[in-house]
Amino acid sequence: MDALKSLVQPLIGGSAGSSVVDGMKLVVLGGTVETARRVSSSAWSHFVNSFFLTAHFSEEDFPYDWLMLWLSRRPEWQRSREFETTTRSAGPGGNTSSYYSAEDADWDHWEHAETSASGIFDPDSEGRPKTRVVFQPTYDTTHTIFYRGHWLRVRRGRKQDTGSEMLSISVVARSNAILKQLVLQAKREYEAEAVHRIQIYFADAHGSWRWTDSRHKRPLNSIVLNPGVKEMLLDDARDFLKSEKWYADRGIPFRRGYLLHGVPGSGKSSLIHALAGQLQLDIYVVSLSASWISDNTLTSLMGRVPARCVLLLEDLDAAFVRSTNREDDSSEHDNGNGNNGNNDNNQGGSGGMSGGDSGLFGAFGGLSGSSSRRRRYGRSDGLSDMNTLSLSGLLNALDGVAASEGRLLFATTNHLERLDPALSRPGRMDVWVEFKNASKWQAEALFRNFFPCEEDEPPLDNISESELSSLDIDSNVEYQRYGNGGSTPSRPRVYVPNEGHAAHSRNTSSASNYPDHNGGSPSSISLWSLSSGLASSASSLLSGVSSAMNSPVPSSPSPLPIPRTHSGSPLAAPSQPLPSDSKDLVDKDQFGATNTAYLPPPPDPSLTKIKPLDKKQLAELAKRFADGVPEEEFSVAALQGYLLKHKANPENAANGVEAWVIGEREMRERLKKEKEAREVREKALREKRRKEAQEKEKAKKAQDKKDQELERVKALLAEKEKEEELEKMRQQLKEKEEKLKEAQEKKSEEDSKSDSESKSDKESEDSDEKSDSEKETSSESSSSSSD
């Protein structure tokens, strides 16, 4: 300091410099402090970095979801002092309950909305859907969470380049084992939550899969089909999933395809939903009629399907038909099967009530799903019309080199006859199942499913958790064994060459000697989840539970669809009843599988007041109902719609069915007439337009001819004019030449004239000169003489 002072002193001199010196001192001091701070902070961060392990989890990948769910249950996370509210969800199925703290309850009434991102609705007293509000810590805040003896620093942030969410977890540890443990635990918790749900993914325009929704599993028993059909499919699918080695040993591509075809509203989508739930598989849906679908997109989608999943191609027949309206479509392709029209009407007639989930997956077809969490991957609208899917592209995508293996392919169609045989050949579609309109037997079974019976089991919410969790675990066990390659697969089905559609259709309609597994199923479960649209109604059935499965099944099932191999031979019946109990692979108590938030919604209190019918009464009413329903005239969806109208009054449902049938027939007749009238109108309109177009074309041709003639004349005229112009120019040139010639002649004349003139002038000049000189000479001589 002294040295500095001695340096500065001479420059400033005197006492005036002392304040400057003080200032300088301050500057130096401040600089020193700041430098020390920076050095210590960088040393600290260096120290921290060398001891902290940090893992980053991007929103685009699954671990992010696992950890968000895990975090949402940590009290430290919930105690965040800076939070944001969202209606987005973290858990499988968008369950947000774990975000809730006691004081959140009031927020439940915060907002009413038509839709919710999570898809979880709690109808309020007026039946309006209620949006759940979730609290989450804000971005860029760090939280410290104690986990297994370690302090975790958790931070939510955003990636700078893409703007997507990211989770960073740091921990002081020598190895990353603790982080691995954390991820594993989060994964297990997440999966345990998912035990009662299936995830639905939709293809987007960029060839990627987007998580779109999560649904409660639908019990297989809630699907009313020919006895044995569901079990047969389940058995076949399970058999397939265990047979990877068998396929590999024989060099057969490890794929299996199921073609579900038949009338609308007969349970195709519902069956797939239920099977996926039973097999613990997620569903990947591609809508082949999407405007953006192309060979390349489909190929890349098929390559990205996970090893074990249900791949669903909806409305296969619509793949190459650019029609958005099924009715238009069917009128366009009407093959003369009047039944088609009827079925459409049939579905339409009851659609309002059935709330059918024919939109079970279709509801997301637009991919603009507000519930989509990864929406940044795709445009939700304004996609250009670039459907360039070709049949060969589809075939290649299904079983080309890039296609993934291990998936169960389900394809649905209402128009089997429109499918190219190449598409439905064995290897692509190995098992075909035909779905028809409801038979009397189905009507009776549906009725039994709907109404509670006194001897039924207690409601599902009273069933013990172990019973609950056992519902689907058997498939999980198999799944795991399959993964370890432990079990010996049975031989897959043998196929015969393609017999063609007609033969197949004939074969599939026969009834059979299938054992009645519905009646004898030991694992009875209730119909608690029909569809999101039916959730409230379905929940009413909780009170009665399992009526369908425990009450005797209708005695004499009429001919119903049965699954066949492609050759038309029926699949073998399962040798044993389906296993009803098995062990869970994860400790659900530990990981939250028993979380009641994942149980179906509670029953509607008004419906629980319905007095359960006794068994005899139920059988009688069900029979009466079935007697009133004509064989294979109405779809199951239509019957379901009718029953929903009478869900609180089974007697009315049974007694009013005949009147309903008459009403439906009248309505169908009316709709048919309207359709015919519309078709006649449209035909006349088309004819008129065709004629107008023809006349226009004619007029256009005539006009074109005239225009051509005019052009020709114009061209001639122009040519003539050109010639005249040329002639004129020639004339002018000639005249000019003549004039020039004349001028030249004149000039030469003038020149010669002027020449002669100048000559004569010169001569006269010469003579003048001569005379002058002579004169001078004479005067000189005279003067000299005078002298």
CA dihedral sign, ordered 673, 676, 678, 684: negative
The Cα 675–Cα 669 span in angstroms is 10
**Member of 358, 518, 523, 594 binding ligand ATP (CB under 6 A):** 358
The Cα 745–Cα 752 span in angstroms is 10
Tell me the per-residue interface mask from 601 to 640 with ligand ATP, x by CB under 6 A, - otherwise. -----------------------------------xx--x
- The helix (run of H) or strand (run of E) holding residue 33 is helix 17-51
Phi/psi at 362 (nearest 5 deg)? -60, -25
Rounded to whole angstroms, what are the CA distances from 542 to 33, 222, 599, 604?
72, 12, 11, 9
Angle between helices 440-450 and 636-645 (to 10 degrees): 40
Question: With respect to ligand ATP, which residue has the nearer C-beta, 207 or 601?
Answer: 601
Question: With respect to ligand ATP, which residue has the nearer C-beta, 93 or 265?
Answer: 265
Contact in structure between 460 and 545 (CB atoms under 8 Å)? yes
Which token pair is 153? 């620093």
Binding window for ligand ATP (CB under 6 A); candidates: 13-21, 267-275, 683-691, 711-719: 267-275
CB of 620 to ligand ATP, least distance (A): 22
The Cα 647–Cα 109 span in angstroms is 28
The Cα 146–Cα 138 span in angstroms is 20
**Member of 87, 136, 214, 266 binding ligand ATP (CB under 6 A):** 266
CB of 186 to ligand ATP, least distance (A): 34
CB of 349 to ligand ATP, least distance (A): 13
CB of 236 to ligand ATP, least distance (A): 18
**Member of 233, 360, 403, 619 binding ligand ATP (CB under 6 A):** 360
Binding window for ligand ATP (CB under 6 A); candidates: 175-183, 190-198, 221-229, 418-426: 221-229
When asked if residue 285 is in the footprint of ligand ATP (CB under 6 A), the reply is: no
Phi/psi at 612 (nearest 5 deg)? -65, 145
**Member of 118, 354, 404, 543 binding ligand ATP (CB under 6 A):** 354
**Member of 92, 227, 356, 492 binding ligand ATP (CB under 6 A):** 356
Binding window for ligand ATP (CB under 6 A); candidates: 327-335, 356-364, 366-374, 662-670: 356-364
Rounded to whole angstroms, what are the CA distances from 609 to 452, 543, 617?
11, 9, 18
Tell me the per-residue interface mask from 431 to 450 with ligand ATP, x by CB under 6 A, - otherwise. ----x---------------
55-67 b/e with 16+ CB inside 10 Å = b?
A: bebebeeebbbbb
When asked if residue 316 is in the footprint of ligand ATP (CB under 6 A), the reply is: no
Which token pair is 96? 């947000």
CB of 704 to ligand ATP, least distance (A): 50
Question: With respect to ligand ATP, which residue has the nearer C-beta, 358 or 543?
Answer: 358
CB of 268 to ligand ATP, least distance (A): 4
For residue 202, what are the β-bridge partners? 210, 285
Question: With respect to ligand ATP, which residue has the nearer C-beta, 530 or 593?
Answer: 530
**Member of 228, 257, 264, 612 binding ligand ATP (CB under 6 A):** 264
The Cα 488–Cα 511 span in angstroms is 32
Tell me, rounded to whole angstroms, the distance of Cα 188 from its chain centroid: 27
Tell me the pairing of strands 197-203 and 283-287: parallel
Rounded to whole angstroms, what are the CA distances from 187 to 435, 462, 677?
39, 28, 59
DSSP 111: -
Question: With respect to ligand ATP, which residue has the nearer C-beta, 469 or 536?
Answer: 536
Tell me the per-residue interface mask from 528 to 547 with ligand ATP, x by CB under 6 A, - otherwise. --xx--x-------------
Question: With respect to ligand ATP, which residue has the nearer C-beta, 63 or 601?
Answer: 601
When asked if residue 198 is in the footprint of ligand ATP (CB under 6 A), the reply is: no
CB of 442 to ligand ATP, least distance (A): 6
**Member of 117, 183, 186, 224 binding ligand ATP (CB under 6 A):** 224
Tell me the per-residue interface mask from 687 to 726 with ligand ATP, x by CB under 6 A, - otherwise. ----------------------------------------
CB of 604 to ligand ATP, least distance (A): 17
Which segments within 82-190 are labelled E, that is strand? 83-86, 134-137, 142-147, 150-158, 165-172
CB of 503 to ligand ATP, least distance (A): 23
- The full DSSP string for 326-354 is HHHHHHHS--S-HHHHHHHHHHHHHHHHH
- The helix (run of H) or strand (run of E) holding residue 54 is strand 52-58
For residue 313, what are the β-bridge partners? 286, 411
Contact in structure between 156 and 141 (CB atoms under 8 Å)? yes
Question: With respect to ligand ATP, which residue has the nearer C-beta, 171 or 643?
Answer: 643
Rounded to whole angstroms, what are the CA distances from 289 to 135, 159, 298, 321, 604?
39, 35, 12, 7, 38
When asked if residue 269 is in the footprint of ligand ATP (CB under 6 A), the reply is: yes
Nearest residue to ligand ATP on Cβ basis: 267
CB of 531 to ligand ATP, least distance (A): 5
Contacts of 127 (CB under 8 A, 6+ apart): 536
When asked if residue 414 is in the footprint of ligand ATP (CB under 6 A), the reply is: yes
Contact in structure between 531 and 270 (CB atoms under 8 Å)? yes
Residue with tokens 């579609």: 429
Count, residues near ligand ATP per rule CB under 6 A = 24
Binding window for ligand ATP (CB under 6 A); candidates: 61-69, 201-209, 496-504, 527-535: 527-535
Contact in structure between 548 and 473 (CB atoms under 8 Å)? no
Which token pair is 757? 């003139």
DSSP 130: B
**Member of 225, 283, 433, 460 binding ligand ATP (CB under 6 A):** 225
CB of 274 to ligand ATP, least distance (A): 9
Question: With respect to ligand ATP, which residue has the nearer C-beta, 145 or 562?
Answer: 562
- Summarize as ranges the residues that interact with ligand ATP (CB under 6 A): 223-225, 264-270, 354, 356-358, 360, 412, 414, 435, 530-531, 534, 636-637, 640
